[in-house]
Structures are given as structure tokens and as C-alpha cells.
Amino acid sequence: MSWDLRYITNRLTSRTASVGASGLDYSQFTPCTGNSDCSTCKHIQAVMGENKDQETGQVIDKDSDAIHQRQLETHQNTIPNMVKTQSKEEFWDKEDPDHGEHHKLTPEQKAKAKARAKAHGRKYPNLVDNAWAAKQ
């Protein structure tokens, strides 16, 4: 069996639901650590290595190689930025600060929260609606 045929056979038989058409297993993707220990960078480079002829070292499928190269660059450049923005803790996940007494919503604030919920297609106001009404 030639190298090209083995490459294609291995690529077709080893696919699972998390493996994309180019052979990348997206279930292995993690945020880029920016050093040589990044498992996602290693995975992308391993897939790129499978796309090379063992004897000559030449790329077999140039389109797949270009996809892998772009994926590697995107992973190294944007993933840390995305993780930074996603790591911002939402206000409902934070501990309740001790600001003294808690106050119930006034009837006017309740009406505003209910109107906002109705405008957004909800039957009842949620925490965000109530917090918005309390700040008004």
C-alpha cells in the first residue's frame, strides 16, 4: 500500500464526531498556553506531519496543509484573547457583596421588570430584569 493510500485510509477510518474534515480533532482543543507544552499546537502539528511523505518530507495535500497552518495561527493568536474575555465573571456568578440591608423591589420597579420580560418574550421577569429594574 502506498503512502498516499495509507494516509487517505487512516484519515477516513479514524474519524469521529469531533474530527473535522481536515483531520483535526476539535475535542482536543484547549486554550493556547503560548509555550511548547500546548497540547492543541502539538495535535495540529502532528496532523500536519501526517500529511507529509515520509521519504521526501513533501506535503501530500496542499489544501489541507493550508487549513492546518491557518488553524494553528488562529489558535495561537486568538484563543488567549477569547479566553480572557470569557473568563470575566458575570455578576450573577459573583459572591453577594455585603452592602448592608437588602431592599425589595418597589411596585414600580416590579412593573418595569415585568414589562421588560414581556418585551423579551418571557412570561415572568428573571434575575437580569430585576437587576435592571433595581438600577433604574
The answer to whether residue 99 is domain-embedded is: no
* The total number of structural domains that make up the chain: 2
Q: Are residues 57 and 109 in the same domain?
A: no
Q: Are residues 76 and 36 in the same domain?
A: yes
Q: Are residues 40 and 67 in the same domain?
A: yes
Task: Report how far residue 46's alpha carbon sits from residue 122's, in angstroms, rounded to the nearest whole number.
Answer: 48
pLDDT of 16: 46
The answer to whether residue 93 is domain-embedded is: no
pLDDT of 1: 45
Burial class from Cβ neighbours inside 10 Å (0-12, 13-18, 19+) for residue 75 reads buried
CB 98 within 8 A of CB 73: no
pLDDT of 15: 45
C-alpha cell at 78: 486568538
* Spans in the chain with pLDDT lower than 50: 1-3, 5-9, 13-16, 84
The answer to whether residue 92 is domain-embedded is: no
Q: What is the pTM of this model?
A: 0.43
C-alpha angle with apex 114: 113 to 115, nearest 5 degrees?
90
pLDDT of 110: 95
Domain extent, residue 10, equals: 3-86
Distance of CA 63 to the CA centre of its chain: 24
Q: Which of 83, 79, 47 is nearest to 66 (CA)?
A: 47
